[in-house]
Every structure is written in structure tokens, then in C-alpha cells.
Structure 1
Amino acid sequence: MATQKTEHQTEHPDFETLFDNLADGVYLLEPKTSNILWCNRAAYEDLGFEKHEVLNHSVLSLQKDVVGQPQWDEIAQVIQAHKTYTFVGRHLHKNGGEIAVEINTTHFEHQGQTYFLSIARNVNKRLALEKDLQTKENSIWFALNEASDGLWEWEVDTGYVFFSPQLKKMLGYGPNEMEPVIETWTRNVHPDDLQMVMQVMQDYHQGLRGVYEVEYRLRNRNGHYLWVHDRGKVCQRGDDGKPLRMVGMVQNITERKQLQFQLEALAANDFLTQLPNRREGENQAQRHLALSKRNKMPLSLAVVDFDDFKSINDMHGHQKGDEAIVFGGQLLQQAIRSSDYIYRWGGEEFVIIFPNTKLEDTEVIAEKLRQAFESADWPSIGILPFTLSIGLAGYPGNGDTFEDIIAQADKAVYAAKENGRNQTILANELSQA
């Protein structure tokens, strides 16, 4: 006997209808690849897509703050280790814009398969409302946070550190990650920079600096290092004057540092051979000589001159002459030891520094250089073979300054050319002549 529905009984909507009427986007994810397996209406309409378009995406292609599979792999491990994982980031809109989202992700098992279920809330309007509701003091803090890549606040006596969401996002972490202790920061500073950074901090605390300000490398979630500019000040001290609380701001300067290094390399390298130029080479030579004096070690150097190079330009043209200089520079660099240092002095002349090497021991290396030129495949670049003249001088026998030593080596190479070229002469031989 069929039962009749009373006026209070209704037929409930199915789950698909319920999900499609949620205000927040819902995504079913495959944990390993982050591919989107299913989504509700809000998920694709908020982003300006059709449903089938979103299903061709993944977290890596939609979420602008998750970059690369290694970062996703780490996040996936954190999701599976916690009941709920919260991440604040930016979703890519179809028109090229972005939407600020707060995402809560859970994991579950179904028929032996693990899935992630993410609920993404569009927080653009909430962020705008929060800006309007800030008091003047909070507005300044908020503006600093938005204008910078991250803020921090350190309780010096307890070791507690507040890392702002922006700073965490810069390093690839969610807002509930990064343990708020000073060790979280120190263990991510590049090992080669840590001592320098801590010295700057100590100097500031001791009043030797007016502000804590330093540039260093900081590791992000993927294990890559970002260059950052870190600046902070003590905002609270104890009765004894010791710092109790510091606040600071971190800026990601990786792009600027990369450009700086490129410009420095251009300024330090010879444009033709890409070896160090004369200015950079002489700076390095001065450092090597200072180290030799400090450690009471010998140092030698060679002035290397290409023989009859004018005839190469006259016979083959200046373009071929440039090719000969490049090829010859490569031969010299390949023939010397890894501890030696070579730079282009100018024209067809090169200087080689031999650290911790007695002058008489450089004759063997010089002979190796001449043999490298004699056996080189010059016809491969369309040039007839040519030879080298080499002048050798050293510290302490030929002078106490770099200028004195290279002057002696220059006299020796001149003598080598005057005596028939294709030979090596030591500066000591000049004084005996």
C-alpha cells in the first residue's frame, strides 16, 4: 500500500544540486599530480571558465603561489599529515587576472584511493573590507605588509617570531606553517651568509650600528635560495637597555641581485675572450700577492705575447685576428693549472698568475703553453700557426709590489721577442746578462 506525502514532507535536492549552490568553490584533487578531477559551479564560474576547462587544469596551473612539482609534493605531504590544511593564495582567472582565495583542504580514502577535497573561498571582497575597517595604526601595519614581501616581529628574550602571511607566501608556505621560533629563520639562511648576518645583528644590538640592515640568501620551500634585503629595528628595550622586541621588513631582491651580478660580470670580463679584463685581473693579482706575503709563500707571473700578431691581422683581417685571440686565450686557459689565474692584459697579451710557485718551477708550465700553441689546430679557424713569447718574474726575487714584478716580466717578454721569439725568458736572466 503506497504511502502518501503529508504537506510537511518534501523531496530533498541531490548532492550535485547542493554543491552547485554553494557560494564557495569545491575541488576534488588527485594528490600526486594535483589534477582537478571534479569541481562545483562556483569553482569554475568564479574563474571565468566552463566546467570542462577547469577539469583540464591542476593546482600547479591554477594556483599562482604554488610553483613546480617539488613544492606541491611537500604541500601534499602536509595535507595528508593534518586533518585540515589552510593555504592563502591567488587563483588564475581566465582573463589573466587573479583572485585572492583562502583554501581549506582535507584528505579522505574511497575504495582504496586517496583524494583531496579543497574548498576555496574568494576573499577579494573581504580583503577590501578589512582595508576599510583598519584603524590608523593597523592601516600602517597593513600597508607595510602589502607593500613588502614580508614582515617579522621577534621577541628576543623568548625566541618567538611572528612571520607575516606575505613572508610565508614569498617562501612558498601556507599561513599556518613555519614554526614561530627564531630557529625557523636561522636554519633557512644560507650557511655561507649566516655568520655575517648574525654579526650584523650582534653589532646592532651592541649599538655599533644604527639599524639592522643586511642582504643575504634565504631558502624557500623548494630548497632554492632567494636574495632578500632584511631591515629591522628594536622597538622595545628592558630597563637594562637590552632589546626585548624587534620588528623588520623583508624584500625579495633576487631579480635585482641577478642583474647586479650580470653587470659585475660584464664590468669584470674582457668582452672578446670572456676572460677577466685588465682591471679585474690586476685586482685579483694584488690579492694573490698580499696572500703570498702574509703566508710567506712565493708567487710568480707570466706575461704572454703572441708572436707576429700584426701579420695575422694584415693577412687575414681583424675579424680573424679576433678569432685567433679568442682561440689562443682558450688554449692558455686549458694548459694552466686550476689554481692559476689568467686575464687579458690588452691586445694579444695575457698575464698568468702562479700562486705558491717558485719562479724556476714556472718554466715547465711556460713550456707547456708553447707546446699547446705549436700543436693546436689553427687551420680549423683558417689561420696559419703562430708562436708565443713568454716573460717570467716572481715574488720575492723580482720585486715587492705587483707593479715591480709585472714590469720585470714585461722586460723579459720583450727580451724574448728581441732574441728571436718563440721562447721563455726569466727576469732573473736579464740581471745576469
Structure 2
Amino acid sequence: MVNNQQDSSLAQWPEAAQTLMALMHAQGEVARLSEREQLLSTLLVSVNAVLWAFNWETRQVLYVSPAYERIFGRSADLLLADYNQWRDSIYPDDLEYAERSLADVLVKGAVEDREYRIITADGQLRWLSDKCFINRQAEPGQPVIIVGIAEDITDKKQLESELQRLATTDALTSSSNRRHFFEGAEHEFEQARQQGTPLSFLMLDIDDFKAINDTYGHQEGDNVLQRIADCGRAALRRGDLFGRIGGEEFAAVFPGCTPDMALQVAERVQREIQGLTFNHEGQTFGITVSQGLTSLTAEDESVESLFARADAAMYEAKRQGKNRIITA
């Protein structure tokens, strides 16, 4: 009898062992899943980009990573409750583009070149690079889910802007440099030719600038150049181009400006500059400029011909006694 009971118990051992092994395996899986969840949570917290998932049909944000609160300065819980929290944070000028480019993902499957600005909760303006993708493997009838990653690229944009400024701006006077000025002048010339609108070109040179440097020093000469640039920008109209194209030479282009109007602008520049006074170690002095002005004709084939005529007229103003405007 005893032997039979022992045999019965031994017969149950494999099944019990299997159950125990299954329980141990399950516990191991739970532990591994917990470790994975902790790892994933740690990674999501450390990533400085916003991972998000969006239900296109219900307009509901399904998930947003912790970086949202760091970058936007807004509550993730409020966003999950109302998608407009994200929409309303977009800079107004960029809202139409941001919404249109998001809709493009339905056609393209992915949109990776979205860049727009947001206003954070504390009023900062920040740039985002917001890539988004659609799940094309979803079963028919399943909701359309868009996922994306939004990265703060404000520092990159500021660097790009600074590099652009350095590449296009004269460091001393903050005016357009020669290359940038003539690029703009060429564009305005082509526009005027295509549209049949007037265009004028002005050259300006400081009279006796070498004597200013020799008498008062190069630092005072730099001050003169800066004040001239300030006068030029203040006297010109919105949309006019202005730049320093040589040592003491400046140039301007007046789009849509008839010869008579252009002359009035040049005269205004002349008066502003004549009114400048400078003081160096108790000595007060003023400056004058010579200007050459010309306007677009049917014979002009490039902006260089306008430049050449204005330049020649400016040197004619020098020959005639300086401090005057000659038109050509």
C-alpha cells in the first residue's frame, strides 16, 4: 500500500515541476518586462526631444514624452486632455504651415522637413524640427495614428542666423556688404525688367575721407562711416537697398522709384549728412558727400550698367566741386 502511494506521488512530480518551472519563468518574464519598462522610462526622460502619438480622426494626443514639459513649459496632462494646448502654442505666423505640413503626412507617409516656431508658457520663442510618420500597416477600419519626434533647434537657428548676418553684413557699419548688396540689386533689376516698373541706382562717396583719417585718426574715420550708414538707412524708404561697397563708398537701389522721386530721396540723404557734426579732442568738424544717381532705361541689360553710370556720375560730382548730386 505504501509503495503504491509513493509511486503515485512520484508520478505527480513531473507535472508539479513543470508548473513550478512555468511560474519561475513567468516571474522572470515579469522581472525582465519591469526592467525594460524602467529602462524605457529612463531613456524617454533623458531624450531631449518630444516623442508624440496623435489620433488624426479624434484629434487626440495619445502619448507625449517627458521632454514636452521641458521644451514647451506646459502640462502634459493638459495636452493629453486637449490637443489645442499644442496648437495654441504655435507661433501665429507659422500655424497655417504647421497644420498643412501635418496633413501632408496622410499623403506622403512621412514629413521630415517641418520647422516652425512655438511660444513657450513663459513667452520664449523657440524653433522646432518636428518630423512625423503614419502607420501604414494599420488594419482597415483602424484609427489613423501619426507618430513624431519634435526637437528643439533654437540654438541651431540662432547660429544659422548669426552666420547669415556675418556673411551678408558689413561688420563696421551693419549695412549690407558688397556681395549681398549686389545680389539684392540684381534681383530688383530683374523684377523691374519683368514688371516694367521704374528703378533707380545711387552711388555715394565721402568727400576728403583720407584727410579725415589723417587728421583725426582711423577710429574717428570709422565713426564717420558708421554715422553715414545710419543716415543712409534712416533717409531711405522701406524696401530700398543700402550697402557699403567699398572703403568710403556706399550704394542704394530704389525699387519702383521714378527719377524725380529718387532725386528727392538722394537730396534727403544729402541734407541728413550735411547736418552731422563730429567732435575730436575739442575740434568740431562736419562732412559732405558726392552722389551719382541714375535710373533704369530700356537699353540696360544688367545692373552693372546702372552701377557704371551712377559711379561715373558720382566722380563727375567730385570733379565739379564735391558735396553735390549728379544725375545721369
Provide TM-score, normalisation by structure 2. Answer: 0.77
Partner of residue 345, structure 1: 245
Tell me the equivalent position of 2:10.
Answer: none
The alpha-carbon distance between structure 1 residues 243 and 261, as it changes in their structure 2 partners (threshold 3 A), is farther
Q: Quick one: structure 1 residues 173 and 371, their matched pair in 2 at CA, closer, same or farther if it must change by over 3 Å?
A: closer
SS of match in other structure, 1:331 = helix
What is the CA distance between 1:222 and its match in structure 2?
A: 2.6
CA distance in 1, matches of 2:44, 2:32: 12
User: Any residues of structure 2 matched to 1:20-419 within 5 Å, and which?
Assistant: 133-135=34-36, 139=39, 143-144=43-44, 146-161=46-61, 162-207=63-108, 211-237=111-137, 244-379=144-279, 382=283, 384-397=285-298, 399-419=300-320
**Over aligned residue pairs, what C-alpha RMSD do you find?**
3.1
- Secondary structure of 1:288 counterpart: helix
Q: Give yes or no for contact 2:105–2:132 (8 Å, CA) kept in 1.
A: no
Which aligned segments of 4 or more residues in structure 1 are displaced greater than 4 angstroms? 138-142, 179-182, 237-243, 380-383
Structure 2 unmatched ranges of 5 or more: 1-30
Q: Distance in 2 between matches of 1:325 and 1:273?
A: 7
More strand by share: 1
CA deviation digits over 1:154-201, x for unaligned, max 9? 122332223333313422223422244544333322122223334433
Q: Is the 1:391–1:413 contact (alpha carbons within 8 Å) kept by the matching residues of 2?
A: yes
Give the number of the structure whose alpha-carbon radius of gyration is greater: 2
1:421 paired residue among 311, 322, 325: 322
Shift of 1:274: 1.5
Distance in 1 of aligned mates of 2:195 and 2:81: 46
Shift of the 199–415 alpha-carbon distance from structure 1 to 2, 3 Å rule, reads farther
- CA deviation vs aligned residue, 1:15-35 (integer Å, no higher than 9, x gap): xxxxxxxxxxxxxxxxxxxxx
| Counterpart residue type for residue 107 of structure 2 | Q
- Matched residues in 1 for 2:291 and 2:89: separation? 49
Could you tell me which residue of structure 2 aligns to residue 47 of structure 1?
Answer: none
- Structure scoring higher RCO (CA < 8 A, sep ≥ 6) equals 2
Kindly state the Cα deviation for residue 397 of structure 1 after the two structures are TM-superposed: 4.9
- Kindly indicate whether the alpha-carbon contact (under 8 Å) linking 2:289 and 2:323 is maintained by their aligned counterparts in 1: yes
| TM-score normalized by the length of structure 1 | 0.60
CA distance in 1, matches of 2:42, 2:86: 22
- 3-state SS of 2:79 partner: coil
Q: Deviations over 1:202-221 (max 9, x none)?
A: 444323x8543322111222
Distance 2:248 2:69 in 1: 54
Sort the Cα spacing of 1:139 and 1:396 in 2 relative to 1 into closer, same or farther, 3 A: farther
Residue identity (%): 29
Instruction: Report the secondary structure of 1:422's partner residue.
Output: coil
Q: Distance in 2 between matches of 1:373 and 1:359?
A: 21
Unaligned regions of 5+ residues in structure 1, if any?
1-129, 428-433
How much does 1:304 deviate? 0.5
